[in-house]
Structure 1
Amino acid sequence: MTPFNTLRMVELMNECLPAGVINAITGEGGIGSGIVKHEGNRKIVFTGSTAARQSIMRNAADTLKRLTLELGGNDVGIVLPDADIDKLAPAIFQTAFLNMGQTCAALKRLYVHESQYDALVEKLAEMARAQKVGPGMEEGVTFGPVQNRDQFDLVSELVEDARQNGARIVTGGERIGDKGYFYAPTIVADIADGTRLVDEEQFGPVLPVIRYSDVEDALRRANDNPSGLGGSVWGSDIDQARAIATRLECGTAWINNHAEVLPHCPFGGSKMSGFGVEFGLDGLLEYTQSQLLNINRG
Structure 2
Amino acid sequence: MENTSFAKETAAVNTEFLSLNPSTLEVIGEVENTSADEIDRKIKNAKIAQKQWSARSDAERKEILLKVAEALQQNSKHLAEWITREQGKPLSGPGSNFEMQACVGWTQVPASLDLPEEVVFEDDTRKDILYRKPIGVVAAIAPWNWPLMIAIWQIIPSLRMGNTVILKPSEYTTFSTLEMIKVINSVLPENVLQVVTGRGEVGSYLTGHPEIGKVMFTGSIATGKKVIEASAKNMARLTLECGGNDAGIILPGLDLSKHIENLFWGAFLNMGQTCACLKRLYVHENDYENVVKALSDYSANIPMGNGADENNVLGPIQNKMQFDKIQDLLNDAENNNADFLFKGQKPDQDGYFIPITLIGNVDNGSRIVDEEQFGPVLPIIKYKTLEDAVEKANDSENGLGASVWGDELEEAQKIAAQLEAGTVWINQHGAINPFVPFGGAKKSGYGVEFGVEGLKAVTIPKVISIKK
1:8 CA drift (Å) = 2.7
Alignment pair present for 1:138 and 2:309 = yes
Distance 1:174 1:168, change over 3 A: farther
SS at match of 2:292: helix
Answer whether contact 2:209 2:233 (CA < 8 A) is retained: no
Alignment pair present for 1:115 and 2:268 = no
1:5 CA drift (Å) = 3.8
- 2:410 aligns with 239
Answer whether contact 1:107 1:258 (CA < 8 A) is retained: yes
Cα separation, 1, equivalents of 2:177 and 2:439: 21
SS at match of 1:124: helix
Higher helix fraction: Structure 1 or Structure 2?
Answer: 2
Cα separation, 1, equivalents of 2:184 and 2:310: 31
Q: Which has the larger radius of gyration?
A: 2
The alignment's C-alpha RMSD in Å is 1.4
Answer whether contact 1:82 1:237 (CA < 8 A) is retained: no
TM-score normalised to structure 2 length: 0.62
Structure 1 segment 119-268 matched on structure 2, within 5 A: 119-172=290-343, 176-177=347-348, 179-268=350-439
- 1:31 aligns with 202
Higher strand fraction: Structure 1 or Structure 2?
Answer: 2
What stretches of structure 2 of length at least 5 have no aligned partner?
Answer: 1-171
1:173 CA drift (Å) = 7.5
Answer whether contact 1:78 1:218 (CA < 8 A) is retained: yes
Cα separation, 1, equivalents of 2:274 and 2:439: 14
1:71 CA drift (Å) = 0.7
Cα separation, 1, equivalents of 2:293 and 2:188: 51
- 2:442 aligns with 271
Please list the CA deviations of residues 94-130 of structure 1 after superposition, one character each: whole Å capped at 9, or x if unmatched.
1100001011101111001112111111111122222
Moved more, 156-165 or 48-57: 156-165
Number of aligned positions between the proteins:
297
Answer whether contact 1:36 1:60 (CA < 8 A) is retained: yes
Answer whether contact 1:155 1:202 (CA < 8 A) is retained: yes
Please list the CA deviations of residues 64-106 of structure 1 after superposition, one character each: whole Å capped at 9, or x if unmatched.
1110000110011000003111211221111100001011101
Please list the CA deviations of residues 140-161 of structure 1 after superposition, one character each: whole Å capped at 9, or x if unmatched.
1121101111111111111121
* % identical aligned pairs: 45
Cα separation, 1, equivalents of 2:299 and 2:345: 13
Cα separation, 1, equivalents of 2:466 and 2:453: 27
Cα separation, 2, equivalents of 1:171 and 1:144: 18
Please list the CA deviations of residues 146-188 of structure 1 after superposition, one character each: whole Å capped at 9, or x if unmatched.
1111111111111121122121101228865462111111111
SS at match of 1:289: strand
What stretches of structure 1 of length at least 5 have no aligned partner?
Answer: none
Cα separation, 1, equivalents of 2:184 and 2:388: 49
Cα separation, 2, equivalents of 1:86 and 1:152: 32
- 1:76 aligns with 247
